[in-house]
Amino acid sequence: HWARPRRWETQRLMAEPVPGITATPDEGNARYFHVVIAGPQDSPFEGGTFKLELFLPEEYPMAAPKVRFMTKIYHPNVDKLGRICLDILKDKWSPALQIRTVLLSIQALLSAPNPDDPLANDVAEQWKKNESNAIETGEDYIRIFFLNPP
């Protein structure tokens, strides 16, 4: 039955967590996951902790999971609503892929932002024009939103 996540997938996520990522199924909804990704080392997001939500639609695994950042992030591939521009969440999705593949891809996107396929055009422009300035802004976001929570 496709409406639920593949049980082995959830069990594997819990038993063999991806380094720097936790994905916890919601108690009330087996298709909804609370995700936390640590900013990868040597990336503009190092030191940050990012909360995301991951939801498996009815059609999963024939359709890609819906994932979005709940934590504010200054990134060319993430818009102000937290939506993520990532090919495997769109046209490159395959039922052979898994939740952990998606999470690893998002982690990789934090390590290597891609301003040539932007979702946040203003951020991408800044990234292309002055990468070190954009990285500094990303680091400022981390200082503002993590080190001094409201």
Q: Does 102 qualify as catalytic in the annotation? A: no
Identify which of 89, 75, 87, 88 has the alpha carbon closest to the alpha carbon of residue 120: 75
Burial class (CB in 10 A: 0-12, 13-18, 19+), 27: exposed
Cα–Cα dist 147/114, whole Å: 26
Question: Comparing C-alpha atoms, which of 132, 90, 131, 101 is closest to residue 114?
Answer: 131
Sign of CA dihedral 116, 119, 125, 128: negative
User: Which residue in 64, 67, 85, 99 is the catalytic one?
Assistant: 85
Q: Residue 107 and residue 150: Cα distance in Å, rounded?
A: 25
Q: Which stretches of 1-146 are assigned E, i.e. beta strand?
A: 21-25, 32-38, 49-55, 66-69
The residues carrying an active-site annotation are: 85
